[in-house]
Structure 1
Amino acid sequence: MEFLGITITEWVGYLASAVLLVSFMMKEVNKLRIVNSLGALLFVVYGIMLQTSWPIIITNAAIIGINLYYLLKKQD
């Protein structure tokens, strides 16, 4: 399935890239981690849509885990 000559899989990849880029414009670290995690989650979906691209899935799952660790870690 295509939209404007681009496959849905590619659209998910472009959206993931855009969200990831936007995350780096955040001044507040927690907001950056939340938006960055959303981008990483979209990349995991993209990796799955690519007939299971493990390097993309593993790297972005790790990024989500790291972001969650710091988001949930008690502030001292």
Structure 2
Amino acid sequence: MFSVNPVEWIGYAASILIVISLMMTSIIKLRIINSLGCFFFVVYGMYVKAYPVAISNAVIILINIYSLYNLKKEGNKK
């Protein structure tokens, strides 16, 4: 019978969120959904001891947060 390790579902969810984020036309939605996908990849990477996956996705989350901060700051100037 087909069985999937529960932690793999976290990886699948992360992959799906990343793909969905790349289809967004709004940069804000893209950054938020991408951050969620990256967060799931951090959790997945830590669980399966794939530290390069966890570290790179943690850095991407920080980049997304920085970008969202700058977008909000620019929006307040207008």
TM-score (norm 2): 0.87
CA distance in structure 2 between the aligned counterparts of 1:9 and 1:49, rounded to whole angstroms? 8
Q: Which runs of 4+ in 1 moved over 4 A?
A: none
Q: CA deviation at 1:13?
A: 0.5
Q: CA deviation at 1:48?
A: 1.3
Two-structure CA RMSD over aligned residues (Å): 1.1
Amino acid at match of 1:34: I
Amino acid at match of 1:45: V
Corresponding pairs, count: 72
Is the counterpart of residue 53 in structure 1 residue 65 in structure 2?
A: no
CA distance in structure 2 between the aligned counterparts of 1:36 and 1:54, rounded to whole angstroms? 19
Amino acid at match of 1:17: S
Alignment counterpart, residue 59 of structure 2, candidates 55, 58, 62? 62
Q: CA deviation at 1:9?
A: 1.1
Map 1:32-51 → 2, pairs under 5 A:
32-50=30-48
Question: Considering only CA atoms, is the larger Rg found in Structure 1 or Structure 2?
Answer: 2
Q: Which has the higher strand share?
A: 1
Gaps of 5+ in 2: none
CA distance in structure 1 between the aligned counterparts of 2:55 and 2:30, rounded to whole angstroms? 20
Q: CA deviation at 1:37?
A: 0.2
TM-score (norm 1): 0.89
